[in-house]
Structure 1
Amino acid sequence: MQGRSVMEANEANASLLKRRPNFRSVSFYHSGEGNIHGAGMFWFFSDTNAPPQTAIATLFILVRPMKMFMKTCLLFVVVSANLLGVLTGAVEDKRTCMSEDLLKLLMKTDRCCDGQPGKYVSADRPAFLAYAKTSPKLGSVILFEDVATNIGKHYSPSTGVFTVPQNGLYYFGCMIMSSAKHLVYYRWFKNDTFFSNGWVAKTDHANSQTQNIVLNMKKGERMYIKLVSGGAIHGGRHSYISGYLL
Structure 2
Amino acid sequence: MTGILQLLLLVSVTMASEPSCPACSKYDYEEKVLERMIRMEFAFEKELKDNKAVSETVEEDLTRIKEENERLHATVDALKDQQEQAERRLVSLMEEVERNQSSTLEKIVSDSNTTLEQTIAAFNDMKDQIATPLVYFNAHFPQTTSLSTGEVIVYKTVETNHGNGYSATTGKFTAPERGLYLFFMHTCTSSTKYSYLQIVKDGSVLIRSVQYEKESFSCSSSQVFVQLDVGETVWVQCSSGSSNRQLNENSSYRWTSFGGALIHN
Q: TM-score range by the shorter chain?
A: 0.5 to 0.7
What SS does the corresponding residue of 1:109 show, helix, strand or coil? helix
Look up the match of 1:135: 145
Larger-Rg structure? 2
Alpha-carbon distance in structure 1 between the residues aligned to 2:186 and 2:238: 13
- Higher share in strand: 1
Alpha-carbon distance in structure 1 between the residues aligned to 2:235 and 2:140: 13
What amino acid is the match of 1:233? L
Query: 1:109 deviation in Å?
Result: 3.1
Query: 1:127 deviation in Å?
Result: 1.1
The 1:231/1:63 distance shift into structure 2, 3 A limit, reads same
What amino acid is the match of 2:248? H
What SS does the corresponding residue of 2:113 show, helix, strand or coil? helix
Look up the match of 2:247: 233
CA offsets per residue over residues 113-142 of structure 1, 9 Å max, x none?
A: xxxxxx33575x221100024415312111
CA contact (8 A) 1:129 1:149 kept: yes
CA contact (8 A) 2:136 2:160 kept: yes
Flag structure 1 segments of 5+ consecutive residues without an equivalent.
1-6, 16-38, 40-60, 65-104, 111-118
Query: 1:222 deviation in Å?
Result: 0.7
Alpha-carbon distance in structure 1 between the residues aligned to 2:238 and 2:190: 14
Query: 1:236 deviation in Å?
Result: 4.0
Paired residues in the alignment total 148
CA contact (8 A) 1:162 1:223 kept: yes
Q: Find 1:10's aligned residue among 112, 129, 142.
A: 112
Look up the match of 1:245: 262
CA contact (8 A) 1:188 1:196 kept: yes
The 1:219/1:13 distance shift into structure 2, 3 A limit, reads closer
What amino acid is the match of 1:130? A
RMSD over aligned CA atoms reads: 3.2
Alpha-carbon distance in structure 2 between the residues aligned to 1:126 and 1:8: 40
Look up the match of 1:42: none
- Higher share in helix: 2
CA offsets per residue over residues 20-75 of structure 1, 9 Å max, x none?
A: xxxxxxxxxxxxxxxxxxx7xxxxxxxxxxxxxxxxxxxxx3744xxxxxxxxxxx
| Equivalent residues in 2 for 1:1-246, closer than 5 Å | 10-11=112-113, 61=120, 63-64=122-123, 109=127, 119-121=129-131, 125-133=134-142, 134-139=144-149, 140-228=151-239, 229=241, 230-237=244-251, 238-246=255-263
TM-score by length of 1: 0.52
- Of the two structures, which has the highest relative contact order with CA contacts closer than 8 Å and spacing of 6 or more? 2
Flag structure 2 segments of 5+ consecutive residues without an equivalent.
1-108
